[in-house]
Each structure stands twice: as C-alpha cells, then as structure tokens.
Amino acid sequence: MFQFEQARLGHPGQAVFENLTLHIARGEQVALLGPSGSGKSTLLAALREQQADSVAWCPQSADLVPMLSVFHNIYMGALDRQHSLTNLRNLIWPTRAQKHAIGELADSLGLTDKLFTSVDRLSGGQAQRVALGRAIYSQRQVLLADEPVSSVDEHHGLTLLQQLLGRHDTAVVALHDRSLALQCCSRVIGLRDGIIALDAPCQSLTLADLDALYQ
C-alpha cells in the first residue's frame, strides 16, 4: 500500500529522514509513536502524497471551515464523489437523505443536536469529532490521521478511535496515547531522531516497550 526505499524525507533544506525504508501493507492499522519532532507529521505527509486520491485525511488541526455548520463540514468529505451542481445544491439546500445520513453520523460521534451549529461555536473536542466525521464520510478505505482524538478524554478517545478505525480497512495514525495504540492498532512504528526505532506487532509489545521511545 505504501513503500519507501532508502528515501530522504523532510522540508526544503532540512531532512527529517535521511534513509527511510518502510513498507505498509493493505489491511494494516498502524500507530505512529514518538516524541515531538520525531517525524510523525512528516511521514504522514509523505504517505499522503503517495496515495493522494485514495486516502481519508484527518489532520491534527481539524482544518474546518469555522463559519459553516457541522453538516457542511462533514459533507465536504464527499465533495469528490458527486457532481459540482449536486454539491452546490446540498450545501445550500440539503436533501432529506443527506441530512439523515450525516445526522446519523453526527449522532454516532456525540454531536447530537449540533448538526446545523457553526463549528466556531463548538468546543475543541467537538470540532475534532467533526473532523472525524468528515474523514468517515469520505468513504475511503485508507485513513491517515494526525492525533485524531487528542482533544477528547481517554474514555471517549478509545470509543472514537475504534469507530474511526472500524470504518477503514487500512490506517496509519499518529498518536500520543500509547495505551490507545496497543488497544486499537495492529502494528506500532516508533520514530526517534530520524529513524525507525521500533517496528513490531502490537500483540508483542508492552507499555514499557513504548515508553523507551521517549527516554
């Protein structure tokens, strides 16, 4: 699904990975772990470039349109699936079917009664749920996500992450919560100092193994 062979990844004038070799197969659900600055966001960006038309993207910053409603921001995940005139109609005057489908998704994400609330009136955790809804509504099998549940508490984070991963066959998710990584994913890739310091199935790892990435 994704592969790098001795790749150099980074920003103009600055390499984050000098010699990265990595393969991620279809069907894997991978947690990216590592301290701040270890390259998680850089790697996600490079993965996204490889499959630009095939992935659902859930950024850490949410990247919502603040003056538009929950409905409109979730609907934007599906803009490429329909004709531009259909999109224009649904953005101005949503059909009953669209309101029902997106309303059910919003309810499942804990956004009941918020469907036509502008997202600038939501809390940080609620806004992050809208971004999850947008990614789910894109209906793509591959998910890339950067700290998708960082603004919600641990209990709701587990439920939301399980729901998000359950909608995608293949996923690569940057996380800061090591327990969530072990509970929800099948593989952990640990980054540190521009290298892959750990790459193993979740079932073979303990929290102590993951803590070593941050020492």
All domains in the chain, ordered by first residue: 1-54+141-215 (3.40.50.300), 67-136 (no CATH)
Residue 93 has pLDDT above 90, yes or no: no
**H-only helix segments in 109-186:** 124-137, 154-166, 178-184
pLDDT at 10: 86
Longest dimension (CA), the chain: 54
Other Cβ atoms closer than 10 A to 23: 11
178 contacts 203 by C-beta, under 8 angstroms: no
pLDDT at 3: 94
Structure tokens belonging to residue 154: 């641990």
Q: Are strands 170-174 and 187-192 parallel, antiparallel or unpaired?
A: unpaired
Structure tokens belonging to residue 165: 């991963």
Q: What is the pTM of this model?
A: 0.90
What are 46-85's pLDDT values in tens digits? 999 998 888 999 988 888 999 899 999 999 998 887 788 8
- Banded model confidence at residue 95, pLDDT cuts 50, 70, 90: confident
Distance CA 108, CA 85 (A): 29
Q: Are strands 2-11 and 14-24 parallel, antiparallel or unpaired?
A: antiparallel
Helix (H, G, I), strand (E, B) or coil at 163: helix
What are 138-155's pLDDT values in tens digits? 999 899 999 999 988 888
Those residues whose C-beta lies under 8 Å from the C-beta of residue 96, and which sit 6 or more positions away, are: none
Residue 116 has pLDDT above 90, yes or no: yes
